[in-house]
Chains A and B, each alone.
Chain A
């Protein structure tokens, strides 16, 4: 089945690290993504990880993938107030028409307090 689960809310203080967690069910996922959405806006790709990788780091962002447990996490170091947004994880799966499509989690609202 196709299901992606996230915790709904996370609150941190400015300067702390944020860790957003995600679980997925489809073991055939090839790529997993993290997107950021600010109010009333579209989606901004933050980072992605290929399914044969365990970790990927990009500046303040660290993605950890535990393929055995189908668990994905996004760590934001030195969280800033500008990081306040909704964060979506998504898995890329292959549809019946052999077209890759994204299945999204419910989104985690990150609140950063000054």
Chain B
């Protein structure tokens, strides 16, 4: 139980275009979702916390207008990278907070590899 499905698993886009990444909770309701960014051989950096039906809370240094997060339902959160540039190339991972799960507390999507050319 408590599975999070993240799509796409990889995407290549041209500089200046926008890319949307979806994160769906398949068998539970995710009130809170987290979005992380991971550079090669580095740690996961929390970008923002989204709560269903309200505005996301962004971590310091993360551009709200650049990384748009929408959590309109209890099963779907999306991250849109707007006007993407090569420096936005990274591995993005979503996570959902769960209260009853073998993952105790959090379950993660499989990640999206974004390459901006």
A residues near B, CB below 8 A?
Answer: 31, 33, 35, 40-45, 48, 88, 92, 95-97, 99-107, 109
Contacts and interface: CB of A to CB of B under 8 A. Distances in A.
Contact of A41 (B36, B41, B45, B110): B110
Contact-residue bracket for chain B: 20 to 34
Interface stretch (B64-72, B76-84, B97-105): B97-105
A99 B44 contact: no
B106 interface: yes
A100 B110 contact: no
Contacts of A31: 104-105
B93 interface: yes
A43 B108 CA distance: 6
A33 to B, nearest CB: 8
A35 B103 CA distance: 10
B110 A107 contact: no
A40 B113 contact: yes
Given A104-B43, A104-B44, A105-B43, A42 B6 contact: yes
A106 B110 CA distance: 19
B4 to A, nearest CB: 8
A95 B6 CA distance: 24
